[in-house]
């Protein structure tokens, strides 16, 4: 297993993984996902197999507001002094599940976030993934309302670094 930063050639595999992972929330377009990548490329990662195929990815970007960014829209400009990393998406391709790739990518992202000086990471847990994120050290924060576009069971979570 190899974790590396996202490169242009990874996008077909990222989109394939996205389409197998999201059943309750509509997938976002390539344009929208790439806007997150371009904002903070050092915190957008993929795991590739020996043949170079994307098995899993995580997209996270600097963010300056408490409220999560809207789904289905390109990322608006982010303040240069943002100290929050918003974990937009972590997905494992259906064919690669059961290998611990979610844990691997989450751990690498946390390591990088600390090195880069972020003070916290926020996310919206969807499709019943709250337990996974709790095991990664995130806690639910009920003070922040989540847009209905994230689905009925969406939960805002954060972790202080």
| Residue listed under structure tokens 């209905």 | 148
* pLDDT tier at 23, thresholds 50, 70, 90: confident
The CATH H-level superfamily of 2-160 is: Gcn5-related N-acetyltransferase (GNAT) (3.40.630.30)
Task: Measure the CA angle with vertex 46, ends 112 and 157; round to 5°.
Answer: 55
Q: What pTM value is reported for the model? A: 0.94
Share of the chain above pLDDT 70, in %: 99
Question: What are 59-81's pLDDT values in tens digits?
Answer: 999 999 888 988 899 998 887 88
- Is residue 1 scored above 80 in pLDDT? no
Other C-beta atoms closer than 10 Å to the C-beta of 131 total 9
* pLDDT tier at 35, thresholds 50, 70, 90: very high
- Taking Cα atoms as reference points, which of 35, 57, 63, 29 lies closest to residue 44? 57
Mean pLDDT of the chain: 93
For residues 61 and 88, is the Cβ–Cβ distance under 8 A? Answer: yes
């Amino acid at each position: 297993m190899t974790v590396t930063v996202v490169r242009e050639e990874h996008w077909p595999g990222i989109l394939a993984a996205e389409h197998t992972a999201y059943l309750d929330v509509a997938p976002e377009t390539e344009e929208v996902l790439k806007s997150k990548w371009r904002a903070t490329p050092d915190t957008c990662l993929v795991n590739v197999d020996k043949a170079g195929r994307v098995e899993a990815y995580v997209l996270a970007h600097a963010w300056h507001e408490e409220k999560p960014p809207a789904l289905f829209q390109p990322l608006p400009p982010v303040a240069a002094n943002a100290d929050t990393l918003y974990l937009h998406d972590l997905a494992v391709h259906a064919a690669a599940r059961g290998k611990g790739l979610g844990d691997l990518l989450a751990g690498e992202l946390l390591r990088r976030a600390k090195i880069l000086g972020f003070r916290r990471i926020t996310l919206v847990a969807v499709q019943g993934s709250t337990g996974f994120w709790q095991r990664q050290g995130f806690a639910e924060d009920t003070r922040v309302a989540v847009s209905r576009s994230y689905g009925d069971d969406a939960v805002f979570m954060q972790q202080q670094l």
